[in-house]
Amino acid sequence: MTLKDQAIIVTGGASGIGHASALELARQGANLIIADFDLNGAERVAAEVQALGVKAFAYKVDVSDPAAVEALVDFAVETLGTLTGVFNNAGISKVQSLLEMDPASYRRVIEVDQFSVYYGLYYGARKMVELGVKGVFVNTASIYGSVAAKGSFNYNAAKAAVIAMTRSGALELAEHGIRVTAVAPGFIDTPMMGQLDQSARAALAAQHVTNQLISPEKVASVVAFLFSDAASAVNGSTVAADDGFLAFKV
């Protein structure tokens, strides 16, 4: 499996799954744009990627702004010479009951977690078609795109939409040789998890078959596979990286 000389945008690349995926994609030979609202974090990750011997550039982006995503795609082509892949990974969440969730709170998660995937697909695919590139998109969905969770009404809605957009995007773009896939992580051991107390972390880990949180690196290996030619038969599908949660825990 190799991604040598591929040119891939990673949104939300400054931390967590985005950070781990950027490093794994780089190990496979891909040149990267590390895009994040946290520019300092993106620059740190870009430096780590460059140390692996490939090209990497940091870029500050608000993925909820369509003009900003279009500019990101243009930047990628200007700096890397082409665009062969987009990892639509950026996302946010806020635990809040439906009765407390005012329209602004609902809209913010939808804009970042759902609309950004559409913007990445729309501007990225149009650029690939313009360049004659048979590229690949990987979208970050979630186990919560398939099951409900209290306090996650907006997140559930956004991630379910990502799964649907992955299917529809694959169908729409197949004639151009462009693949669209998604990964649905379970409970990942990211810095955000570090804010939880030990009992809360244990309760989440217990919903996995191994009773452990999943490392970002394990999700990154799935992401790298989906971008590779080894996954050429995977199209429109959402691959669960959830340690059995969807198969055995619901």
Distance (Å) of CA 135 to CA 50, 74, 89, 212: 23, 15, 17, 34
Q: Is 155 a catalytic residue?
A: yes
Rg of the chain (C-alpha set)? 17
What CA–CA distance (Å, rounded) separates 207 from 28? Answer: 32
Q: Tell me the DSSP string of the chain.
A: ---TT-EEEEETTTSHHHHHHHHHHHHTT-EEEEEES-HHHHHHHHHHHHTTTS-EEEEE--TT-HHHHHHHHHHHHHHHS---EEEE-------B-GGG--HHHHHHHHIIIIIHHHHHHHHHHHHHHHHT---EEEEE--GGGTS--TTBHHHHHHHHHHHHHHHHHHHHHGGGT-EEEEEEE-SB--TTGGGS-HHHHHHHHTTSTTSSPBPHHHHHHHHHHHHSGGGTT--S-EEEESTTHHHH--
Catalytic residue among 59, 119, 123, 155: 155
Catalytic residues: 155
